[in-house]
Amino acid sequence: MLYNNKGFTLIEIIVAMAILFLISMIFIPLFSFSVGAIFDAGDKSEKIFDAQGRVDRAIEAEDPSGEDKVSINFPDTDDLEIPGEKLEIKYEYDDYSSHITYFLLEEEMD
């Protein structure tokens, strides 16, 4: 009788499939989390881009909202006051809120 020893046994195939299953169960949640983080980062970038656009439009419209000078205090000397106007744009992202602050120098407003 001749025996053909060129193939895999059923046990070898089952063990190989079990190993592949375990490896895939480790990496599937990793990929899922990564894709979710990519979409979250994209949403955040869109909100920041929108807020920066509002800052740009406010600068073009010369619509500052705030103080008319910035004071810098130095020890043992006079304070430095810089004339200009402050722009502050607030934006929200999911449960977070933040703002972009821009100070227009008086020369930039002319």
Specify the DSSP element, H or E, that contains 103.
strand 96-105
In a domain, 1, yes or no: no
Mean pLDDT, consecutive 10-residue stretches, the chain (110 aa), reads 74 95 91 88 87 80 64 80 79 80 68
Q: What does the pLDDT read at residue 14?
A: 96
Q: What does the pLDDT read at residue 102?
A: 78
Tokens of 49: 């881009």
In a domain, 85, yes or no: yes
In a domain, 75, yes or no: yes
In a domain, 17, yes or no: no
The label of the residue with tokens 């006079």 reads 78
In terms of residue numbers, what domain contains 49?
Answer: 37-109
In a domain, 77, yes or no: yes
Q: What does the pLDDT read at residue 75?
A: 83
> Which residues sit opposite 52 in a β-bridge?
none
Q: How many domains does the chain have?
A: 1
Of 60, 46, 36, 25, nearest in space to 91 by CA: 46
Of 91, 108, 8, nearest in space to 44 by CA: 91
In a domain, 46, yes or no: yes
Cα angle 84, 77, 87; round to 5: 20
Q: What does the pLDDT read at residue 64?
A: 55
In a domain, 79, yes or no: yes
In a domain, 99, yes or no: yes
Give the neighbor-by-neighbor strand order of the sheet with 69-72.
69-72, 80-93, 96-105
DSSP 27: H
Tokens of 54: 């509002």
